[in-house]
Amino acid sequence: MSITDTEDLLSRWKRLRVSDHALREAYKEGLRGKDILHAIFNGRIVEHYPKRRRLLIAGPVVQYPLPIHVVCDYTDNTELVAVTVYIPNRPRWINEHIRGMIPPPVS
């Protein structure tokens, strides 16, 4: 299965659910459930993890120019699940769409 964008992704599943874990992680970051949904509907797929049937969406929150990442699981044929959410930060992410280099551990 090839998913090309969020519109394609959302057209394939009958339901979208935000997991309890994603809601807890959002709360820790000062985000709300509607921020997760807004990011999914207005974001862009930046990474695919086909072996795990997951993908990463980068999208904006509702009222601030803040990008967030939402990992979605599509193992269920009827339900797309937002499994976790976080604010991308350096050095892991150069920006919300480009993964950065993680420096090697100091010995």
pLDDT of residue 32: 93
Question: Higher-confidence residue: 98 or 57?
Answer: 57
Q: Which residue has the tokens 């997760």?
A: 36
Count H helices and E strands in the chain, helices first: 3, 7
Q: Which domains does the chain have, with CATH numbers?
A: 6-96 (3.10.450)
Q: What is the SS3 assignment for 11?
A: helix
Averaged pLDDT score across all residues of the chain: 83
Q: How would DSSP label each residue in 18-60?
A: E-HHHHHHHHHTT--HHHHHHHHHH-EEEEEETTTTEEEEEEE
Which one-letter amino acid corresponds to residue 61? V
Q: Is the pLDDT of residue 90 over 70?
A: no
CA dist., res. 80 & res. 54, Å (int): 10
Q: pTM of the full predicted structure?
A: 0.79
Q: Is the pLDDT of residue 75 over 60?
A: yes
Q: Is the pLDDT of residue 16 over 60?
A: yes
Q: Is the pLDDT of residue 20 over 80?
A: yes
Q: Is the pLDDT of residue 106 over 90?
A: no
